[in-house]
Amino acid sequence: MDKLSVLKEYFGHKRFRSGQEEIIDHILRGSDVLGIMPTGAGKSLCYQVPALMLNGMTVVISPLISLMKDQVSSLVSSGISAACINSSLSQEEYSETMHRALRGEFRLIYAAPERLGTQEMRRLASAVRISMVTIDEAHCVSQWGQDFRPSYLRISEFIESLPVRPIVSAFTATATDTVREDIVRMLGLNAPFTLVTGFDRPNLYFSVLKPHNKYAELRRLLEGFGDKCGIVYCLSRRNVEEICDKLNDDGFPATRYHAGLSDTERKNNQDDFIYDRKRIMVATNAFGMGIDKSDVSFVIHYNMPKNIESYYQEAGRAGRDGSPAQCILLYGAMDVRTNNFMIEKSRDDNTELSDEEKDIMLERDRQRLKEMTFYATSTDCLRQFMLGYFGEKAPGYCGNCSCCVTGFEEVDMTVDAQKIVSCVFRVKQQGRYFGKSMIVDILKGSENERLVSLGFDKLSTYGIMKDTSARRIRAEVDHLIENGYLCNSTGDYPVVELTASSAKILKEHIPVTIKLPKEKKEKVKKQRSELSDIDSVLFEELRKLRGRLAAEASVPAYIVFSDSALRDMCRVLPTDKEEFLNVSGVGKRKAEKYGDDFCAIIKKYVSSHPGVL
């Protein structure tokens, strides 16, 4: 069977997506490969298709149990023999799985990296021909990646221990040049064919909002999303608990996920989200990797993550099926301070590194946070900024981000700049240093007790911007810091200080402009409806049937069919199994298993709507 026949019979697709065929061809020719492909680009097919064509078994190394279970459930439902080996199996299930694996019954075995050194895996490696080892989330092998996992360092030892070296394929959605070099070196890839398909996800709308009240803004956004499902990311466990409780009190169907919960509760809450019993997941970054839920319509970051890699990966969990989806960041200046604290703390917690390595990583993390802050405060195209970070060129206008859609206007802030820098200078003359909040209070003429007790109400700059909003002043201070006219020191109590360029503002009177958003309230972006050319009533009927079949099989709904497959059914309108095979995402096994049920609903719809065919 050739690759296109495998693609159609097992996965229900007639053609490959960009980059998939190239990678598959190199694997089938015996070459190692490294695929850098964004979430939703179809990385799994790049190794699953050749796994069914190679002579032997493919071992897929995956970091999370949920990822393995999702992949295996999907493969089995498509008629492919696959299994996973992890701690969620009972002793009886584990023994049965290993027994069948030793008999060569599986084409794919998923395993956590911690399992590779066990006696059972060594026995399996000597009893069964392993044709390929695939490493998913390969960036975890690098200390410079955002999800470094020491257990990934054992993978190369496992590969070297095999009787015959297999093909090695590695995949990730996020990898800078440094991380890519680490992946090749530390996994021992042999002159790999490397493909970067691009980081752009055109179906995702990126937005940064700077609300006065984050929770009120979150509520407004969720009300606008109606019954769609999505993820709300928070920086801390405490935030997760607080936001989840508030949402439930306000009538939103939300659940929670963080590392402080028991294994049982985490699993139950995750299942509630995956099986659509709760449509909103409030979580730390402990949730998400390997969650292949295709119908996530929005990802809202309640707090700014500490680097762009994490943000791109977490935001990318929206719109996996190609449907329009939104990625919204609620930015607040306190996010920077919180992230700085967490970065400093992680230095002391990482006991596996030398002091020199800790210092290098600390500086790297600070720089990444700075880049993330630049993204959050940018007035240029957000998509261009993000793609540029990963080394990909992009036009300056995408038309699908808040900066491009909302629009900004150039404003002269030369006089304001002189007032702000002068205020910082006057505070310094008093032998004191303070953060942005105190500078804003002085300029606004605040009468707070501490300011008055320090005598700052006697400064010449006190109250000279009383008619300007605090939000505007803060934005202008941030702009001066970003452009080097002031600096914001790092540490537990960051303070605003002068720089060598500050004199240009006061003495040379250089002009300073700032881009500010036009004064209008951004609404939840109305995405182009994918249902515009199909009947929404039929789509809902098919969704109900899918939900019932999924419940009967105790699997998530998207394991039966993705939303995109249901939409294609509405377009193709198949009324028998032969026509059903023409639907994208319907393979031979699924046509046999589900064809009659779905075609019956479609046939009834067609008969009551003359002329639709």
Distance CA 560, CA 274 (A): 13
| CATH number of this structure's domain 3-196 | 3.40.50.300
pLDDT surpasses 50 at 529: no
Task: Identify the top-confidence range among 37-46, 216-225, 310-319.
Answer: 216-225
Task: Please give the share of the chain, as a percent, with pLDDT higher than 70.
Answer: 94
Domain made up of 409-517: CATH architecture: Orthogonal Bundle (1.10)
Residue 299, pLDDT > 90, answer: yes
Lowest mean pLDDT among 12-16, 75-79, 495-499, 513-517: 513-517
Q: Hey, what are 263's tokens?
A: 């294994």
Residue 528: predicted pLDDT: 46
Q: Distances in Å between the alpha carbon of 322 and those of 180, 201, 317? A: 26, 9, 11
Q: Residue 240: pLDDT above 50?
A: yes
Domain boundaries, the chain: 3-196, 204-407, 409-517, 536-608
Between CA 243 and CA 261 the distance in angstroms is 16
Q: What is the rounded distance in angstroms from the CA atom of residue 370 to the CA atom of residue 305?
A: 11
At a CB cut-off of 8 Å and minimum separation 6, what does 450 contact? none
Reading across the β-sheet that carries 33-36, which strands appear in turn? 82-85, 108-111, 57-61, 130-135, 167-172, 33-36, 193-196
Q: End-to-end CA distance of the chain: give it in Å, rounded.
A: 34
Asked if 169 and 44 touch (Cβ cutoff 8 Å), the reply is: no
Residue 451 CA to residue 457 CA, distance in Å, equals 7
The answer to whether the CB of 27 falls within 8 A of the CB of 131 is no
Closest CA to 53 of 16, 3, 100: 3
Estimate to the nearest angstrom the gap between the alpha carbon of 339 and the chain centroid: 18
| pTM reported for the whole predicted model | 0.70
Residue with tokens 């038309």: 399
Which residues, including other chains, have CB under 8 Å from residue 570's CB and lie 6 or more apart? 531, 534, 535, 538, 539, 542
86-117 pLDDT tens trace: 877 888 888 899 999 999 999 999 998 988 88
Letter string b/e over residues 419-436, b meaning 16 or more CB atoms within 10 A of that residue's CB: bbbbbbebbbeeeeebbb
Domain 204-407, CATH among 3.40.50.2300, 3.40.50.2000, 3.40.50.300, 1.10.10.60: 3.40.50.300
One fold for 3-196 and 536-608 = no
Judged against a pLDDT cut of 60, whether residue 277 lies above it is answered with: yes
Residues shown for the chain: 613
pLDDT band at 348 (very low <50, low <70, confident <90, very high): low
The 3-state DSSP class for residue 111 equals strand
Task: For residue 539, give every residue at least 6 positions away whose Cβ sits within 8 Å of its Cβ, in sequence order, or none.
Answer: 531, 566, 567, 570
Residue 531's pLDDT band, with cuts at 50, 70 and 90, is very low
Write down the mean pLDDT value for the chain.
88
Integer Cα distance of 547 and 432 in angstroms: 63
Answer yes or no: is pLDDT of 1 > 90: no
**pLDDT over 90 (residue 144):** no
Q: What confidence tens digit (pLDDT) does each residue in 408-423 have?
A: 778 899 999 999 999 9
How far lies 590's CA from each of 190, 204, 284, 546, in Å? 38, 29, 35, 12
Tell me the per-residue pLDDT of 171-201, one tens digit each, with 9 for 90 and over.
Answer: 998 777 888 899 999 999 999 999 988 788 8
| Least trusted range by pLDDT, from 6-10, 60-64, 278-282, 457-461 | 60-64
Residue with tokens 């021909």: 129
Question: What mean pLDDT is predicted for residues 368-387?
Answer: 91
Cβ partners under 8 Å of residue 269, min gap 6: 255, 256, 257, 261, 278, 281
Average pLDDT over residues 202-212: 93
Share of the chain above pLDDT 90, in %: 54
Over residues 339-348, mean pLDDT? 80
- Give the mean pLDDT of 275-304: 86
CATH T-level topology, domain 536-608 = DNA polymerase; domain 1 (1.10.150)
Q: Please state, in angstroms and as integers, the Cα–Cα distance from residue 363 to each residue in 268, 359, 441, following that order.
A: 39, 6, 32
pLDDT confidence band for 290 (50 / 70 / 90): low
456 DSSP 8-state letter: G
Residue 132 pLDDT > 90 = yes
Q: Are strands 130-135 and 57-61 parallel, antiparallel or unpaired?
A: parallel
Q: Is the pLDDT of residue 533 over 60?
A: no
What pLDDT is attached to residue 352?
63
Output 279 or 38, whichever has higher pLDDT. Answer: 279
